Amino acid sequence: MALLDMHSAAAMRSVIVICYYCSGTQSFYRYIHKRALICDERMAWNTAIERKPHLEELELTNSVYSLGRGHEILLDGGSGKKAIIPAALAPYLRRSIDIDVIMKGNAAKSMLGGIKLRNMVDRVVYNNDAAYCLLSPFTVISNIENIDIFTESTGVGPIRVTREVFDRAYSVWIDRISLNARLPDISFVAATSMNPVVQKRSRVVPALVAMLAGMHGFDVQEAIERSISYMLEGSESIREALSNARGRNDITYRHVLHDPNYVEYERRISTKLPNVIHNNRERVLHLALKIGIGRDETDRFLEMYVKKLRRA
């Protein structure tokens, strides 16, 4: 019997023991796979969130699921996308130090014992030596450091959280922490990442890649249409935000009255977002190829998305 690299300092994620038994000219091989607690990062976990440099998000995910055991928690935002995107793309995704989760209001209150709301930050502006935070009209529950909790009453930015979001949620297995995490359907994740208020390349590209990575598990055309529907339904939240901003004298809120991402929200879904997708086509193609999705398949997906957005 021979042990293969059993005493290596790597103390592997997966230890493979190969046993040989020779009888005449015949050899019998037995492969024994055993999980080890110490991980070798050279050996791939299943999804991007399980790999460096995203382990802080993984730890926060584990923490909130442990704290909220018994409650339904949906992993959204960048961490939700990284729980779908294959591990091979981990180095190409932006690192984050916080996570976004969605809960029902009563469950969040029960888990936290109370609710602490704060306004999200739209952007930071600099004037001489001073920096000013332009606050979003949308709120988030911020009881736990680096964990943003959204509910039916807060929405996720302009995207409303309804019963449908929980009904359409599905499970993904995060092997590294042995967690059966729940995610909103991919259309909702795309809408919260690509709507005009939050739209950035660092959000749009991973959202598209996440949809591509899981596209064989859902109807692609339906998922695209539903993501656009979620964004358009956000128009109602935008109108409310603009109405409320008109009643405030605080510059941190009134900026939305002059921000085209708010004032032209609907129009930007059908004009700006298609251009953002088109301008980042090569980046999406490059990442998709790394996980085995061909150029033709990716191009068809992007073309369908752009066409449906322009008709929105």
Using the structure block, give the residue that is written with the tokens 């749009």. 204
| Mean of the per-residue pLDDT values of the chain | 86
Q: Say what the pLDDT of residue 3 is.
A: 35
Locate the domains of the chain by residue range.
1-43, 44-310
CA gap 242, 212 in Å, rounded: 35
pLDDT tens digits along 134-147: 889 999 999 999 99
Report whether pLDDT(18) > 50: no
For residues 2-12, give the mean pLDDT. Answer: 34
Q: Say what the pLDDT of residue 19 is.
A: 32
Q: Say what the pLDDT of residue 45 is.
A: 64
CA gap 242, 258 in Å, rounded: 10
CA 78 remoteness from chain centre: 3
Asked if 119 and 94 touch (Cβ cutoff 8 Å), the reply is no
When mean pLDDT is compared across 95-99, 131-135, 181-185, 210-214, the lowest value belongs to: 131-135
pLDDT tens digits along 28-56: 222 222 223 233 343 446 999 999 999 99
Report whether pLDDT(291) > 60: yes
Contacts of 306 (CB under 8 A, 6+ apart): 274, 277, 278
Buried b (16+ CB within 10 A) or exposed e, 7-45: eeeeebbebeeeeeeeeeeeeeeeeeeeeeeebeeeeeb
CA gap 109, 151 in Å, rounded: 10
Q: Say what the pLDDT of residue 129 is.
A: 81
The encoded tokens of residue 285 equal 């193609």
Q: Say what the pLDDT of residue 251 is.
A: 67
For residues 98-113, give the mean pLDDT. Answer: 96
When mean pLDDT is compared across 92-96, 121-125, 154-158, 307-311, the lowest value belongs to: 121-125
pLDDT tens digits along 194-248: 999 999 999 999 999 999 998 888 899 999 999 999 999 999 999 999 998 888 7
Q: Say what the pLDDT of residue 163 is.
A: 96
The amino acid occupying position 45 is W
For residues 110-121, give the mean pLDDT. Answer: 93
Q: Say what the pLDDT of residue 31 is.
A: 26
When mean pLDDT is compared across 3-12, 54-63, 245-254, the lowest value belongs to: 3-12
CA gap 98, 288 in Å, rounded: 26
Report whether pLDDT(57) > 60: yes
Q: Say what the pLDDT of residue 41 is.
A: 41
SS (H, E, C) 222-271: HHHHHHHHHHHHCHHHHHHHHHHHHCCCCHHHHHHHHCHHHHCHHHHHHC
CA gap 206, 200 in Å, rounded: 10
SS (H, E, C) the chain: CCCCCCCCCCCCCEEEEEEEEEECCEEEEEEEEEECCCCCCCCCCCEHHHCCCCHHHHHHHHHHHHHCCCCCCEEEHHHHHHCCCEHHHHHHCCCCCCEEEECCHHHHHHHHCCCCEEEEEEEEEEECCEEEEEEEEEEEEEEECCEEEECCCCCECCECCCHHHHHCCEEEEEHHHCEEEEECCHHHHHHHHHCCCCCCHHHHHHHHHHHHHCHHHCCHHHHHHHHHHHHHHCHHHHHHHHHHHHCCCCHHHHHHHHCHHHHCHHHHHHCHHHHHHHHCHHHHHHHHHHCCCCHHHHHHHHHHHHHHHHCC
Global pTM reads: 0.83
Q: Say what the pLDDT of residue 214 is.
A: 87
The encoded tokens of residue 185 equal 């359907």
End-to-end CA distance of the chain: 66
